[in-house]
Homo-oligomer: A and B are copies of this chain.
Amino acid sequence: MQKPEKIILVGGSGYVGTAYQAYFNAHNIPFITLSHSSLNLCDKDAVLHTFKELKPNFVLNAAGYTGKPNVDAAELEKTRCLLANTILPGVLHEVCSHLKIPWGHISSGCIYTGAHPDGSGFLEEDTPNFTFRQNNCSFYSGTKAIAEEIINNGSHCYIWRLRIPFNEVDGPRNYLSKVMRYSKLLEARNSISQLDEFVRATWLCWERHIPYGVYNVVNPGSVTTSEVVAKIRQRNLVDKNFEFFKDEAEFMRVAAKVPRANCVMDCNKLLKAGIPMTEIHEAIDWALDHWRPA
């Protein structure tokens, strides 16, 4: 008989962490949440002590700071951004390596911009191209990329790259809500992640013991902002004219402080490992068909 799961969920109160809690509860998976209020998560000795006591068989890091309402805000809270996005995974890497506890870290596709020249998505092994090292990125993306640098040599670690989460539940962090509410939109092509599928897929990685390493956990394919707008209009979900910025230059001039990482990602590594994700347009259609306004 297998040892029962004993999971530590770090950062359980955020948009992603809350989805993990819901999933664990729905599947009767016992877990303990750790947050900054209960423990100084950036203090290696404190984390080491706690993990020694709790003896988890898996640790899941869903903590992070993206900036509120958006990534521009992180430019004004660089220290907080570094602590949450780089130091915390760095500490977990050290503690989990030391105690030989397998763990998973929620990274971000925001460390890439664009796509391959032929339009295909970035692979897990492609060097991130939207980081401090290219000097083109938001501070947020920079901190997520350094975290991957730090933990990437961990042998018992999953790095799961999430990209613009959405589902059918209206809310300030949901991509579909953002598209409905922003006064003006930027046309761009992106791979995005249905949040609940992301949670399920990452959990299956651990449950099925697929090989450790980096996985792009996005829905197969990519979608443009105007495709999403057309789907919203079809369903008359909001009563407004959707306006678009003329181009990225106007967007940067008028609405943004730092560049955004619009990018296409390839998720075939995940699919080939036997973990399914719904095709992106289908996933968006489902969410909009089951839309639950706030």
Give the B-binding residues of A (Cβ under 8 A): 40, 42-44, 78-79, 82-83, 86-87, 90-91, 93-94, 131-135, 142, 146, 149-150
A134: chain B residues within 8 A (beta carbon):
135
A79: chain B residues within 8 A (beta carbon):
44, 86-87, 90-91, 93-94, 150
Q: Which of B78, B90, B93, B132 contacts A142 (CB 8 A)?
A: B132
A127 to B42: give the CA distance in the assembly, Å. 31
A91: chain B residues within 8 A (beta carbon):
79
Count identical subunits in the complex: 2
**Contacting pair A150 B78 (CB below 8 A):** yes
Contact A82/B78 with A43-B40, A134-B135 known, Cβ cut-off 8 Å? no
Chain B residue nearest to A93 (CB atoms) is: B79
A82: chain B residues within 8 A (beta carbon):
82, 86-87, 90, 146
A86: chain B residues within 8 A (beta carbon):
79, 82
CB distance from A111 to the nearest CB of B (A): 13
Chain B residue nearest to A134 (CB atoms) is: B135
**Contacting pair A83 B133 (CB below 8 A):** no
Contact A149/B87 with A43-B40, A133-B132 known, Cβ cut-off 8 Å? no
